[in-house]
């Protein structure tokens, strides 16, 4: 993204983070699984075991594996997109993104800006599908933050 290279460990950490977030509510949707598989293919990193990580591999330990601020922001972008993928973005998900931003040492204002950027990007993709006559990827329009 933006000619920034993540290390293999950082790519794997993003997948692990998304796996932890997806399983937090004890239900991984088909769309969440599909998105994680797509990201793993883009990274050329296996997603095997992502949904069954052993206890003790918490988000704190994963967050420490990112080398700098840009890598942490990229990790948050992928995780925000995962939160939006089912078309629902309720207050629990919003709070989860805020907590993850804290773990990654990303200021709240930047988290909100990244969140808004991801939402607008999803809306742009949906508009393109409509213009091209392709089926919608969403059962509802792309989710919005609870405060909008």
Residue 126, domain CATH: 1.10.3680.10
Q: Which residue has the higher pLDDT, 112 or 92?
A: 112
Residue 139: pLDDT above 70? Answer: no
Computed over every residue of the chain, the mean pLDDT equals 84
* pLDDT value for 68: 94
Give yes or no for a contact between 42 and 74, defined as CB atoms under 8 angstroms apart: no
Residue 144: pLDDT above 90? Answer: no
Structural domain tally of the chain?
1
Residue 87: pLDDT above 90? Answer: no
pLDDT digits (tens, 9 = 90+) for 23-71: 877 788 888 899 999 999 999 998 888 887 655 458 889 999 999 999 9
Q: Is residue 140 part of a domain?
A: no
Q: Is residue 16 part of a domain?
A: yes
Q: Is residue 2 part of a domain?
A: no
Q: Is residue 69 part of a domain?
A: yes
* pLDDT value for 78: 95
- The token pair at 11 is 């790519």
* pLDDT value for 141: 46
Q: Determine the structural domain holding residue 36 and report its residue range.
A: 8-132
* pLDDT value for 55: 52
- The token pair at 125 is 């993709």
């Amino acid at each position: 993204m933006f000619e920034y290279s993540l290390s293999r460990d950082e790519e794997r950490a993003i997948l692990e983070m998304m796996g932890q977030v997806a399983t937090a509510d004890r239900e991984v949707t088909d769309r969440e699984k599909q998105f994680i598989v797509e990201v793993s293919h883009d990274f050329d990193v296996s997603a095997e075991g992502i949904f069954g990580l052993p206890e003790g591999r918490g988000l704190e330990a994963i967050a420490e594996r990112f080398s700098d601020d840009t890598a942490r922001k990229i990790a948050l972008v992928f995780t925000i997109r995962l939160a939006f993928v089912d078309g629902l973005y309720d207050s629990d998900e919003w709070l989860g993104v805020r907590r993850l931003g804290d773990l990654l040492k990303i200021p709240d204002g930047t988290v909100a800006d990244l969140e808004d950027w991801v939402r607008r990007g999803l809306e742009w993709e949906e508009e393109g599908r409509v213009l091209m006559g392709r089926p919608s990827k969403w059962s509802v329009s792309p989710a919005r933050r609870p405060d909008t």
